[in-house]
Amino acid sequence: MRSILKEMTREEKFRLLTGTGSNTSYEISRLGIRQMRFHDSPFGVRMKAAQTQRKETARKAFSAFPNADKGEEVVSTAFPAGCALGATWDKELLYRVGRALGEEFRAYGINAVMGPAVNLKRHPLCGRNFEYFSEDPVLSGELGAAYVEGVQSAGVAATPKHFIANNQEKGRFTTSSEMDERTMRELYLKPFERIVARAKPWAMMCAYNRINGVYASEHRQLLREILREEWGFDGIVISDWGAVKNRAFSLLASVELCMPYQQEAYGQLENAYREGLIDDGAVDEAVERLLAFLERTKAVYEPHEIDFEGHDELAVQAACEAITLLKNERDVLPLQPGGCGRVLVIGERAVRPFIGGDGSSRVKNPPVVREPLAELKRCLGKGAEVEFLDEGCLKTYENEIGYMENALYEKASKADAVVVFLGQDYSQSSETMDRNHMEIEPYQEHVLRVCRRASQRVIAVLNIGSAVTVSHWEKYADAILVSWMGGQGMGAAVARALTGAINPAGRLAETFPKRQQDVLSLQTYPGDGLKIEYREGLMVGYRHFDTNHVEPAYEFGFGLSYTRFAYRNLTRDGLKLRFELENTGKRDGEEVVQVYVSAPKQSWVTHPEKELKAFERVFLKAGETVQLEILLKEEDFCYYNVALQRWISEEGAYTVRIGSSSRNLPLSCGIERKTDALITTSYAPE
Ligand code: BGC
């Protein structure tokens, strides 16, 4: 590599440090330095057919799926969006999804997936929450690490993004996320830190916004001192598209690749070199990393097959695992095939599901999209009569008591069950804009109210990208099932969950508040146009709700099942926890076991009431009991001490609690730590 470096002219080096087109790097064929490709999305390939070198792969996919829109985009599996993947709490699944994505990107000759997106859901209005996994850094980091390992096992780089603190879309290009260092370390850096420690990503994308006044793309402290020197990150940093203001400043901060092509970037490097701001050492260091990256991803230059069928099965499985059951009064679900004569299905999302949100993550040309209505008919079988009512007509009559309301009432009262699909439009889950409220639309509430009067079996299916408020209308529904934005397999997943072919086990990766104003971090939203003050500090999501005793509608970690689980007999040996879990019901099912730690009451610093430290998704047959073992680590007892610039675990009495959600923790034990201990990283790899 050194020898190539010697042969490169300065101009070639500068060109390599900046992109060429919208998704490519500069090619230097005389030295065998190939063009590299960088594409979205974290949930499937987003690439114009004209952009791929693998014309044959693109052609074969088009002819294999004649129904896939033959527009400009290549065919690619649409996996569930981050909100759905987050709700699975399943690391092994995330590895497999990552692997499948890696295979598809590789087949289309792409060096890096622009994902996973692991920013925290600081508050529910952020338009990109549908892309992100969770409000919790450990859940985000663990799922992100598994995903990265999966992608990279296929020879393609993963690019965790957006480093860091892009937690709202409003003002994302300029505003400064203002926070203290402890908050930054314990919340906003943590998912990235864990991913670097566990999965060693080959790339990382810096954010658009500023952090404490400095652009993420120029943030020397974050990119060089913390990411590289402290954590040992050895990949390349890619700028978010257009995030670089001055290429020389970003180079000094250790951004190796500025994307996309920016006319002024080359001149900025030249000027800075002439003025002595950057020298050969800085340039060569970055070029060398880019060359190492090219070497790491060389597999993408060889032809590769895509197993669309296998990926479709996986997409369905992932969508199934994401299904989150929030309410099931009198066990109205599942609908029994054969036992349910007439089902009335209402709502456009039953035939035109939102499989993902809008913006750079939208997978435009999936090989197949399963329609919930058709899948439900299939699952219910011939015996059932399924009638569909598009809400379009209801929408017109909004709040009128009239013909449509009567017609709806008539139909609902004749049905054995009414399934209402509730969704929001794209503007509620979209890059570049935030939502301005968390409500479902008034006419949808109205539909539910009419159905409630007519039927004792009203089921609401929420096809949403982030938390909504349910307090107004919850009483009109006997069951609430969240399908999230579940990718191409979502329709099948909803139908299977409604009919009991699968047992829901998704869990909320974000708190559903009773009221929007209960969310502490919204008090400083959206900022003054220059700054967004993260004044709530660590009190984000359940950390706030639990510490400040605010009752949520549905808590972090919550999700029902068609069976029940019992936790018993916790014993502890050092940091090893052992306990029994029994499936006490009549159906097989999965439980998501969650472990939370509370810091000593006598502490010199303030802590959230409890914090998630470990979790495991476990399958149990009906009636089965398993012995589970979870090993906590020293790091799980630490906080970041700013004065010492270290993670420290204080002496004192900690409480460990285990259960099925942040507010249902039947097992607990104490752990006494006798001395203070300093730890250099918040997470040591196994
Ligand atoms: C988004 C990134 C995306 C990039 C490339 C940006 O606007 O913030 O997440 O990867 O565009 O499309």
Q: Tell me, using a 6 A CB cutoff, whether residue 240 lines ligand 1.
A: yes
Hey, CA dihedral for 485, 490, 493, 499, is it positive or negative?
Answer: positive
Under a CB-based contact definition with an 8 Å cutoff, are residues 137 and 540 in contact? no
289 Cα to the center of ligand 1, angstroms: 22
CATH number at residue 568: 2.60.40.10
Q: Do residue 296 and residue 213 come from a single domain? A: yes
3-state secondary structure of 231: coil
Residue 451 and residue 515 share a domain: yes
Cβ of 132 closer than 6 Å to ligand 1, yes or no, is no
pLDDT value for 403:
62
**CB distance 636 to 643 below 8 Å:** no
pLDDT at 427: 86
Q: For the segment 33-89, what is each residue's pLDDT rounded down to a tens digit?
A: 999 999 999 999 999 999 999 999 999 999 999 877 767 899 999 999 999 999 999
| Ligand 1 atom closest to 159 (CA) | 10
In a shared domain, residues 97 and 131: yes
Q: What is the CATH number of the domain that holds 503?
A: 3.40.50.1700
Half-sphere exposure of residue 274, counting CA atoms within 13 Å on the CB side?
Answer: 7
> For residue 604, how many other CB atoms are within 10 A of its CB?
8
pLDDT at 294: 98
Protein residue with least CA distance to atom 7, ligand 1: 241
- Could you tell me if 102 and 231 lie in one domain? yes
- Return the closest-CA partner of residue 348 out of 394, 412, 398: 394
**In-domain check, residue 345:** yes
In this predicted structure, what is the pLDDT of residue 679?
67
Cβ contact 439:387 at 8 Å? no
Q: Quick one: pLDDT at residue 281?
A: 97
Tell me if 156 sits within 8 A of 610, measured CB to CB.
no
Q: Which atom of ligand 1 is nearest to the CA of 166?
A: 8
**Could you tell me if the CB of 161 is within 6 A of ligand 1?**
yes
Instruction: Write the DSSP string, 361-428.
Output: T-----S----HHHHHHHHH-TT-EEEEE-THHHHHTTT--SHHHHHHHHHHHH-SEEEEEEE--GGG
Q: Are residues 189 and 127 in the same domain?
A: yes
C-alpha span between 80 and 318 (Å, rounded): 7
Q: Is the CB of 360 under 6 A from ligand 1?
A: yes
How much distance in Å is there from the Cα of 20 to the middle of ligand 1? 16
Q: 247 CB less than 6 Å from ligand 1? A: no
159 CB under 6 A from ligand 1?
A: no
User: Distance from the CA of 534 to the center of ligand 1, in angstroms?
Assistant: 24
Residue nearest to ligand 1 atom 8, measured at CA: 240
Q: φ, ψ for residue 679 (rounded to 5)?
A: -135, 140
Q: With CA atoms as reference, report the closest residue to 392 among 443, 342, 358, 333.
A: 443
- The minimum-distance atom of ligand 1 relative to the CA of 208 is 8
How far is the first Cα of the chain from the last one, in angstroms, to the nearest whole number?
32
Nearest residue by C-alpha to atom 12 in ligand 1:
360
**154 is written with which tokens?**
């296929």
Of 46, 168, 360, the residue with max ligand 1 atoms within 8 A of its CB, to mutate for a pocket test, comes to 360
- Strand, helix or coil at 641? strand
Determine the distance separating the centroid of ligand 1 and the alpha carbon of 473, expressed in angstroms.
Answer: 36
Residue 676 annotated in active site:
no
Q: What is the dihedral of CA 51, 52, 57, 59, to 10 degrees?
A: 20
Q: Whose CA is nearest to atom 5 of ligand 1?
A: 241
Rounded Cα distance between 112 and 110, Å, is 6
Question: Which of 239, 267, 301 is where one domain is finished?
Answer: 301
How far is the centre of ligand 1, averaged over its atoms, from the C-alpha of 210 (Å)? 16
C-alpha dihedral (285, 288, 289, 293), degrees to nearest 10:
170
Alpha-carbon gap, residue 629 to 575, rounded angstroms: 10
Q: Do 433 and 502 have their domain in common?
A: yes
Residues 284 and 338 in one domain: no
Mutational pocket test of ligand 1: of 51, 114, 163, the residue with most ligand atoms within 8 Å of the beta carbon? 114
669, part of any domain: yes
Whether 317 is in a domain gets the answer no
Active-site pick, 240, 312, 434, 478: 240
Does 158 fall in a domain?
yes
* Residues 519 and 606 both lie in one domain: no
Q: Is the CB of 114 under 6 A from ligand 1?
A: yes
Instruction: Tell me whether the omega of the peptide bond preceding residue 334 falls within 30 degrees of 0, making it cis.
Output: yes
Tokens linked to 526: 């959206």
Residue 13 and residue 54 in one domain: yes
Distance CA 570, CA 578 (A): 6
361 lines ligand 1 (CB under 6 A): no
Whether the Cβ atoms of residue 516 and residue 435 lie closer than 8 Å to each other: no
CB of 188 within 6 A of ligand 1: the answer is no
Instruction: Check: CB of residue 508 under 8 Å from CB of residue 558.
Output: yes
Distance 425 CA to ligand 1 centre (A): 21
Ligand 1 centroid distance, CA of 72 (Å): 19
Q: Which two tokens stand for residue 286?
A: 């970055």
Say if pTM beats, i.e. exceeds, 0.95: yes
Strands ordered across the beta sheet of 176-178: 214-215, 210-211, 176-178, 531-533
Q: Are residues 295 and 327 in the same domain?
A: no
Overall number of domains in the chain: 3
Q: Evaluate whether 76 touches 104 at the Cβ level (below 8 Å).
A: yes
Would you say residue 307 lies in a domain?
A: no
HSE-up of residue 617 (Cα within 13 Å, Cβ side): 23
Please, which contacts does 445-449 make with residues 24 or more away whose CB atoms are closer than 8 Å?
445/472, 445/473, 445/476, 446/394, 446/398, 446/399, 447/346, 447/347, 447/391, 447/394, 447/408, 447/420, 448/420, 448/422, 448/473, 448/476, 448/477, 449/473, 449/476
583 contacts 624 by C-beta, under 8 angstroms: yes
C-alpha 360 – ligand 1 centre gap (Å): 6
* CB of 106 closer than 8 Å to CB of 98: no
What separation in Å is there between the alpha carbon of 295 and the centre of ligand 1?
A: 24
Position 14 in a domain: yes
Most informative mutation of 23, 431, 432 for ligand 1 (most atoms within 8 A of CB): 431
Q: Is 222 exposed, middle or buried (0-12, 13-18, 19+ CB in 10 A)?
A: buried
What is the reported pLDDT for 3? 87
Work out which ligand 1 atom sits closest to the CA atom of 40. Answer: 10
Instruction: Check: CB of residue 343 under 8 Å from CB of residue 385.
Output: yes
In a domain, 316, yes or no: no
Q: Give the chain's residues under pLDDT 70.
A: 70, 391-403, 678-686
Distance (Å, whole) CA 112 – CA 216: 20
308-322 and 490-498 helices, crossing angle to 10°:
50
Q: Which atom of ligand 1 is nearest to the CA of 161?
A: 9
pLDDT of 296 reads 98
Assess contact for 319 and 483: CB atoms under 8 A: yes
Tell me, what CATH number does 146's domain have? 3.20.20.300
Q: Do 582 and 515 reside in the same domain of the chain?
A: no
| Residues 126, 18 share a domain | yes
| Whole-Å CA distances, 97 to 146, 292, 585 | 9, 26, 30
**308 lies in a domain?**
no
> Closest Cα to atom 9, ligand 1: which residue?
360
661: Cβ below 6 Å to ligand 1? no
Residue nearest to atom 3 of ligand 1 (CA): 360
| Pocket flag, ligand 1, residue 40 (CB < 6 Å) | yes
What span, in angstroms and rounded, lies between the C-alpha atoms of 303 and 52? 12
Nearest one of 659, 574, 577 to 610, comparing CA atoms: 659
Of all atoms in ligand 1, which is nearest to the CA of residue 162?
9
**Residue minimizing CA distance to atom 6 of ligand 1:** 241
Pair 456, 479: CB distance under 8 Å: no
Q: Which atom of ligand 1 is nearest to the CA of 115?
A: 10
Residue 200 and residue 451: Cα distance in Å, rounded?
A: 52
Tell me, in angstroms, the distance from the centre of ligand 1 to residue 115's CA.
Answer: 9
pLDDT of residue 426: 83
How many angstroms is it from 166 CA to the middle of ligand 1? 12
**Which domain covers residue 653, as residue numbers?**
563-673
